[in-house]
Structure 1
Amino acid sequence: MAALTLSGKRVLLGVSAGVAAYKSALITRLLKQAGADVRVVMTDGAQAFIAPLTLQALSGEAVRTSLLDPAAEAGMGHIELARWADVIVIAPATADVMARLAHGLADDLLATLCLASEAPGLMAPAMNQAMWKSPATRRNAALLADDGWQLIGPDAGDQACGDSGFGRMSEPEAIVAAVARRLTPPAAGGHVVITAGPTREALDPVRYLSKHALSNHSSGKMGFALAAAALEQGFRVTLISGPVTLATPAGVTRIDVTTAAEMHKAAMRLAPESDVFIGCAAVSDYRAAEIAEHKRKKTDDNTLTLTLAKNPDIIADVAGLDAAQRPPVVVGFAAETRRVERYAQDKLAGKALDMIVANDVSAAGLGFGSDDNAAWLLWRTGSGTESARQPPQPKTRLARAVLQRAIALLPAPPATEDPA
């Protein structure tokens, strides 16, 4: 992991019951090495997996375990601790903890602190793969995301119970890097550029071509949801939009375009100054080689012959920029009707993207024009490619999941010189 600096930052680490609790020792150590002040709160169950004394030795602070500790609560200690934190990190976060926080329960110290604090929250889920896939856990994860919690992982792999799948807690290095990114607000310079909506290619003064022949099912809702999600995370956001009827999220800079050429020009101008570039637009693959000066009339044989020219491939051109101009993270979208993950993998490699979001546009009630969507997320890692399936959900929630995964691919903030 690249060197991080968290000097002077106050991190409240919550540890809940689970085998992955042993990794909280390394999380504490890494946070301290980065310069953070760390205080640890443990649930009753967590103490069955790792002793409070271990985390006390690593953090240099007494570990809190009880809401009704007479000494600590003489001065409303849990409220003071809630105010003290710059960020709250729960690792591991069990299905039980997620459920209680999603529904606002405050029956132990950790849950009470979370409700009483205005600090941003991150959690690293850790549980059996079937528990992670269960509808109840997925609903709770969505509720937590809506409340502003950032979920880190979970990752896929072998589990202590013998199962294999998603549910493993993310590695301590990834968790600490996510904390560093959250405490280094991107608003100071972080910039997300997003293309959204359809493009239209004129045939004559009246008719136009779009990605789907003479009409376009793309409403732009996914791209606009991504813009809102990026804004929530503190990024400066520029939205390059084709013709849609959606309201621009407050705080987002919008550039309206009509044709693929116009979108390409705007994208190539803005991409070099962005940190994340997301190509979500349904760009027309072709344009008319010649635009008729007057409306084309019907022919006697009821046919129309057109000569088409290929439009530029915007996302491939952005990903193909040289190292000095290419954004740190380039995210593409793929709309498929079969073999979704396979074709997405091919596009991820073929266009040299960092990440791709692929959805099955043939699924009823999802995708084009709908408020809901489902998708496969695929991204590059140092050792290959990883993927995760996002089940059907509102596009606003899916946008948060896409953005969080893209943010996780950003380089860690560089270390700064210690003035001492």
Structure 2
Amino acid sequence: MRSASEMHRSVMERKTEADAMILAAAVADYTPTGGPQSQKLRKDQRIETIELTRTLDILADLGCWRAAQSKPVLVGFAAETEEMLEHARAKLKAKNVDLIVANDVSRSDTGFAVDTNAVTLVSHDVETSVPLQSKTQIAEVILDRVEELLMGRGPEAPQKVVSEAAYRNSAP
């Protein structure tokens, strides 16, 4: 993939193939208007502003498409620095998804630059706080919740969801 629009197109082309889709981050919220430059910008060109265009929102577009059906289960993330739960609840509703994994990235022991995280799983019926632990453990908790959501979808739901970590641990 070379652009947010290519990623959007690829995901939308494959959306019917999945039972669950976990979108861990936005590709980019904005992109330079007009796309990449064909030549290097030199310092002496004195570009003082770069015009930006909002990119397509893959998660919101999936939620809009999925509104008329029961699958796939859609999971998004909300990395917040303030009013984490309020923003996560708003995102859950606005993007029509099943679960938002909210985390406070202003903390020094969670977020992007460390191997640990603490999150709150926000769904339409329950909010679950997950205390500080490794990101691998957080991923297992998220997959367990996705499995619960899938099992609640009725007879067309898959019989079992296996995480990569569980698969690795059971392999000979």
Q: What TM-score, normalized to structure 2?
A: 0.81
**1:305 and 2:49 equivalent?**
yes
Measured after TM superposition, the shift of residue 259 of structure 1 is 2.0
Q: 1:322 to 1:360 in 2, by over 3 A?
A: closer
Q: 1:391 to 1:310 in 2, by over 3 A?
A: same
2:13 match: 269
Among 121, 128, 132, the residue aligned to 1:388: 128
Q: 1:391 to 1:267 in 2, by over 3 A?
A: same
Return 5+ residue gaps in structure 2 as ranges. Answer: 157-172
1:332 match: 76
2:37 match: 292
- What is the rounded CA distance, in whole Å, between the counterparts of 1:360 and 1:322 in structure 2? 28
2:67·2:96 contact (CA, 8 Å) conserved in 1? no
2:164 match: none
Among 93, 105, 125, the residue aligned to 1:361: 105
2:155 match: 413
Q: What value does the CA root-mean-square deviation take over the aligned residues? A: 2.0
1:403 match: 143
Which residue type is aligned with residue 293 of structure 1?
S
Q: 1:327 to 1:369 in 2, by over 3 A?
A: farther
Secondary structure of 2:108's match? coil
- What is the rounded CA distance, in whole Å, between the counterparts of 2:82 and 2:44 in structure 1? 37
Counting matched residue pairs gives 153
Q: 1:408 to 1:316 in 2, by over 3 A?
A: same
Runs of 4+ in 1 over 4 A off after TM superposition: 322-326
- What is the rounded CA distance, in whole Å, between the counterparts of 1:338 and 1:304 in structure 2? 31
Which residue type is aligned with residue 318 of structure 1?
L
- What is the rounded CA distance, in whole Å, between the counterparts of 2:38 and 2:104 in structure 1? 38
Return 5+ residue gaps in structure 1 as ranges. Answer: 1-256, 415-420
2:64·2:96 contact (CA, 8 Å) conserved in 1? yes
Taking only the aligned residue pairs, the percentage that are identical comes to 40
Larger Rg over CA atoms: 1
Which residue type is aligned with residue 327 of structure 1?
K
Q: 1:295 to 1:325 in 2, by over 3 A?
A: farther
1:225-254: CA deviation from partner (whole Å, max 9, x where unpaired): xxxxxxxxxxxxxxxxxxxxxxxxxxxxxx
| Greater relative contact order (Cα < 8 A, sep 6+) | 2
- What is the rounded CA distance, in whole Å, between the counterparts of 1:335 and 1:324 in structure 2? 28
Measured after TM superposition, the shift of residue 307 of structure 1 is 1.4
